[in-house]
Each structure stands twice: as C-alpha cells, then as structure tokens.
Chain A
Amino acid sequence: MIEVNELTKVFQKPIRGNGLSGMVKTLFSRKYDEIRAVDGISFTVPDGEIVGYIGANGAGKSTTIKMMCGILTPTSGSVRIDGMEPYRMRRQVAQHIGVVFGQKTQLWWDIPLIESFKVLKEIYQVSDADYRERMGFLGEVLDITRFLSQPVRTLSLGERMRADLAASMLHNPQILFLDEPTIGMDVLVKEKIRLAIHALNKTYGTAVVLTTHDMTDIENLCSRIILLEKGTILYDGPLARLKNRFGNLKTLTVSVPAEIHAETAPVFSPEVDVSEEDGRMILRFDADKVALEQVVQYAFRDLKAMDMKIAEISIGDVVKTILEQQEAEHAEKV
C-alpha cells in the first residue's frame, strides 16, 4: 500500500545572469528561484490497484514517482510504502518495489540480456525456483525469450522496454512504478505492454502506478486516475467519473447530401451543437439532457443522413478541456 501525505518537493534553481558580467556576478552572490515541483499532494493506493498518474509535461509526475521509490527526498510531507518511508529505508523498500523509467534503461548495456537478469537475481536474492517460475511467466507475456542472448545495446526500443519491464518484475514486487512505459513504442508493442501489465496485475496482484501521455493506456488499464497540474491534484477518482465530468457527452458524425448545410439545416434543439467539417455534420450533445434516440431520428429525418458514427467523448478530450480551463484561469490571474 502507498500512502502519500502532504508531499512537497521544492527545487532550488540558481538565477544566472546573462553574458559574461552576469556569470561573474553569479560567482559571488547566488540567488535561487524556488520551483514547487510537487505541492502538498495526498493520496492512497491500495494493494492490487492500477492507477493512472497523468498530467502535462512538468506537472510533477516523475518527481512524485522518484520520491515514492526513494531516489528523491521530499522537502516536506511523507511517502509510506507498506509503512516505510523509501528515502529513509531505501534498501528495505527497494525489495518491495519495481521501477521502470521509459526514458532510461536499468539494464547493463554491454552484456547479454540474460546476464542482466542473473545479476538482478543475485541483487534481489531471488531463489532458483522463483526465478524459473518468473522467467517462464515474463518470457511468455512479454515475449522476450527470443532475444535473451543479445547484448542490450543491440535491442530495438520495443524489445528493450519489454526487457526493462521484465527486469523490474523479477523479484515479484508488490508495487510497480511505471514512468511512461509506452513512450516511443509502436501500436503493437504498446498493446503487448498493456496486456503484460494487465496479466501481472491479475496473476500476482501487483499494484501499478502508471504515468503516460497515451490515453489509450489509461482507458485500457486504469480504473482510477490521478490528474496532476502544476504540482497539485486536480482530480482523483474513477476513470468513468472523470469522463462524465462535463456530462455524458456524445458526438454524432453523419454524412449528408451536398445541399444540406449546418447554417441552413432545421434547428432541432439548442442542446445540440451542429457544425460542419469536411462535408460532414458533427452533432455534439449531452446524452443525459437530450435522448440519443431523438438526435438519431433528427439526423435521418431532417439532415437526410446517409451513414452515421456515434462516439463517446474520449478521456483525452476531457483531460485536454480541463487543462485548457486551468490555463485560462491561470492567465486571468496573471
């Protein structure tokens, strides 16, 4: 279980002057800018839950992850992993957690992959039986058996990522921190990684904290979302509720005959927003206020629709809207 309480991390950044004279001045008097990367956040992740930790670049996601796995020490507040603070009891906590940073590998670059696993087996003191069982499972779900004898530097990005994921799971951690595990992957690899994370969670009950910019990852894996912006939590709750934050929004896209246009079409209801895009009509509405059935009828009857596509608002759209609203509010204040 992860308990995060009023967690804050402030980085000090020296203010450097411009040009040569500025640089000379900084040598003698150094002033610092304070950056509150994470600003008093609290949440709890119970065992076995998959949490999507999302937010814009620089929102403080990675900083939080680094504090949760003991790399960074918080400025104030606390993190507890099964009751232990990772930055105080680093080695004990390390035995219980697995970490993958999508942008950096933890594998030894020049030695064959299997040797990296053997080193990890010794570092984490994994028994022979556990090692065989784990390698069998990971080899299958992550499909890494093929390239076990290759040095890590010869692996493709997708292969390396899968290997990194396997490496983080070798000691069967109760908690897995994944910092952008699908960054730069093609769709097939992304799919493989998602299925693997799902299988790990189901088979071993591993709790997962996942940061990503790919909303498909979130929709496929996470039941709960924590949305972070400028170091504070904007939303923490089930995925479904975040989706319905702006109502049960639906989008109807219909192909219509050339003579029908958005401006001239008969108006059905002020609740339905009609617009035109590439010769198609886009109807946006809240399905809790206007019945979908009636909008469909309207499209066929008044717009002479020839075909139709119904889409729910995507989680990406919701997050985008929330972040845009935040930015607008911020701009007003300044």
Chain B
Amino acid sequence: MLKKYKPFLRAGAIDTMAYRFNILIWAAITVCEVACMVFLWLAVYRSSAGGIDAEIHGFTYREMISYVVLTTIFNFVTYNNDTLWNINTDIKKGTIGNYLIKPISYRGKFSATSLGTLLTMTALFGLPLYTAALVTLGVLGFLPGLTFPAFFAHLGLFLLSGLCASLLNDTISYIFGVLCFYTSSGWGLNSLKVTLISFLSGTLLPIAFFPAGLREVLDWMPFAGMSQNPILILMMKYDLARSLGSVALSAAWIVVLELLAKFLFMHAVRKVTVQGG
C-alpha cells in the first residue's frame, strides 16, 4: 500500500534538489539573523545583574549561543514544507479534484512529499551543518553538557525527535491547510501558524523563560517537541529519561493530530465546490 506514495516521496526529494540555490540564498539570510540573535543575547547577559557569566533560567551565555545556532539549523532543515500552501492552491485552482479521483489519500500524499524533503534536506544541508556547528561549538567550550559515549544515545534520540518534529509540523500545516476549505485565506492562516509555532515551540525564546503557568501548559503541548526539546536533547541539557519522555509525548501528539486532521478533512471535503466547467 505504501508503495503508492513513493512517487510523492521522490517528488519532495527532487524539488528540494531543484531549489537548492534558493535554499542557499535563504541560508545566507538566516546566517545574518543568527548573528543578530547572538549579539542580542550577549547584550542581555552583559547587562544582567550577575554579569556575562550569570546563569539565566538555567542557561549560561555560551549555552544560549549554542541553543540559538542549533535551533536555527534545526528549523532550517526541518521546516520547509509547502503543505499548507499547496492545499490552498489546490482549493483555489480546483486542482484538488485531480487528487480526489486517484486511489490515494490526500493526507498521505503530503506526508510522503514532506518526508522526501526532510530526508534530502538532512542529507544535503543537515549533516554538514550539524557536524560543523557541533565541532566548532564543542571546541569553543560552548557545549559543556556533552559527555561521551552517552552523546551517541542523545544523537539518536535527537534524530528521532527531529523526525517527530517534522511530522508534527506537517500535520499542523495540513490542519491549517484544510481550514482553507472554510476561509479561503491561506495567507492569513499561514502567518498565524508560523507565529504560533515559532513562539510556542521555544524558537524565539526557550520555554524556561516563560511565566510558570504558561510553562506548565506548554510542557504538555506538542510545540516544545518541535524545536526546543530536540535541541536540548542534543545539547544533553535533558537526561536520557526526559529525552525519551519528550519523544514519546511528540509521538502521542502525532497520533492525536492525525486523527483530528482526518476528521476535519472528512467534514471539509463535503464542502468542496469545484467552480466552472
């Protein structure tokens, strides 16, 4: 059954290869953003009560810089699917009909494409970037938590949690995409999704910095598993038990969100009106 989706997996991979130059330009912009974030954090630590060597919410400035760099690479490699946008286009142009008449699941098609993109991005950009960042930060002493050989277990869990993060992101994109059936305002939904995730996943600011009440809620939400937790697993700020717990929570959320997506689509597809013809 899964063989049916192979062409979509391949398409995700091929598209990523085809757009590698666009991706490089995007990478250049990202580097500038990282530089800004690093200087911002340095300024924050310098002006804090304890001075540059203070520990704020469990992070030294060195760890915070590692966190910023690794989170940026992680987001760059993991979040580049066009699921929401493609659903929006399919609905607006009526091309959704082309998929509804084929013996494949609309959801499965997007999962396969996103997986193809993730694998290619990881091989093409992820491996060299993570290696370079980890070696550089490690040599500079910016990753004090790292111990060998325990690191290899964490690396494995990190890759697994990266896969989970990508699936979560794709499912959430899909859910927002299906909402386009009701509002036909893909642009607004996309902005909402991006803002929500970058805030709640700890990309902008580790969740440790949030007020206690919100922090407790976010610990049980799927968002931390989409950016913060994988990085803290890699930096070994989480012990093995907490790392496993985080991956398990993400897996559970994938199941819940996929079910939600399924029911939402079943309802939405009844609303399909293909114009003209």
B101 and A70 contact, CB distance less than 8 A: yes
* A244 within 8 A of partner (CB): no
**CA–CA, A118 to B274, complex, Å?**
27
Task: Given the known inter-chain contacts A122-B6, A122-B7, A125-B3, please indicate yes or no for A99 contacting B270, CB distance below 8 A.
Answer: no
B101 and A69 contact, CB distance less than 8 A: yes
* B133 within 8 A of partner (CB): no
* B276 within 8 A of partner (CB): yes
B97 and A62 contact, CB distance less than 8 A: no
* B98 within 8 A of partner (CB): yes
**Nearest opposing residue in chain A for B7, CB measure:** A119
- A34-75 vs B, Cβ < 8 Å mask (1 yes, 0 no): 000000000000000000000000000010001001111100
Residues of A within 8 A of B101 (CB): 69-71, 94, 97, 99, 106
Where chain B touches its partner, the secondary structure class is loop
Q: Which of A58-110 contact B (CB under 8 A)?
A: 62, 66, 69-73, 87, 90-92, 94-95, 97, 99, 101, 103-104, 106
Residues of A within 8 A of B104 (CB): 91, 123
* A11 within 8 A of partner (CB): yes
B4 and A122 contact, CB distance less than 8 A: yes
* A32 within 8 A of partner (CB): no
Most B CB atoms within 10 A — which of A97, A106, A180?
A106
**CA–CA, A118 to B8, complex, Å?**
12
B3 and A101 contact, CB distance less than 8 A: no
* B102 within 8 A of partner (CB): yes
B178 CB to closest chain A CB (Å) equals 15
CB-based A-B contact count at 8 angstroms: 60
* A204 within 8 A of partner (CB): no
**CA–CA, A103 to B95, complex, Å?**
11
Residues of B within 8 A of A90 (CB): 100
**CA–CA, A179 to B96, complex, Å?**
17
Residues of A within 8 A of B100 (CB): 69-71, 90
B104 CB to closest chain A CB (Å) equals 6
* B272 within 8 A of partner (CB): yes
A101 CB to closest chain B CB (Å) equals 6
Task: Given the known inter-chain contacts A71-B97, A122-B6, please indicate yes or no for A94 contacting B274, CB distance below 8 A.
Answer: no
A101 and B103 contact, CB distance less than 8 A: no
B97 and A66 contact, CB distance less than 8 A: yes
- Find B103's partner among A72, A73, A94, A99 (CB 8 Å cutoff): A94
A72 and B274 contact, CB distance less than 8 A: yes
A71 and B274 contact, CB distance less than 8 A: yes
> Interface size of B by Cβ–Cβ distance < 8 Å?
22
Task: Given the known inter-chain contacts A66-B274, A123-B4, please indicate yes or no for A104 contacting B103, CB distance below 8 A.
Answer: no
**Nearest opposing residue in chain A for B93, CB measure:** A104
* B273 within 8 A of partner (CB): yes
* A268 within 8 A of partner (CB): no
**CA–CA, A11 to B272, complex, Å?**
10
Residues of B within 8 A of A125 (CB): 3-4
B3 and A122 contact, CB distance less than 8 A: yes
B277 and A179 contact, CB distance less than 8 A: yes
Most B CB atoms within 10 A — which of A69, A71, A99, A122?
A71
A72 and B272 contact, CB distance less than 8 A: yes
* A124 within 8 A of partner (CB): yes
Task: Given the known inter-chain contacts A71-B97, A123-B103, please indicate yes or no for A101 contacting B277, CB distance below 8 A.
Answer: yes
**CA–CA, A101 to B97, complex, Å?**
10
A104 and B3 contact, CB distance less than 8 A: no
**CA–CA, A118 to B95, complex, Å?**
20
**CA–CA, A125 to B96, complex, Å?**
21
Residues of A within 8 A of B269 (CB): 73
**CA–CA, A106 to B95, complex, Å?**
8
B17 CB to closest chain A CB (Å) equals 13
Q: List 15 A-B contacts (CB under 8 A).
A: A11-B273, A62-B277, A66-B274, A71-B100, A71-B274, A72-B272, A72-B273, A91-B105, A92-B103, A95-B103, A97-B101, A106-B101, A122-B4, A123-B104, A180-B277
The 9 closest A-B pairs by CB, nearest first: A94-B103, A119-B7, A62-B277, A95-B103, A73-B270, A91-B103, A106-B98, A71-B97, A99-B101
Interface residues of B (CB under 8 A from A): 3-4, 6-7, 94-98, 100-105, 269-270, 272-274, 276-277
If A91-B104, A106-B101 are given as contacts, then 7 extra A-B residue pairs at C-beta distance below 8 Å, sorted by A number, are A71-B101, A92-B103, A97-B101, A101-B277, A123-B4, A123-B7, A124-B102
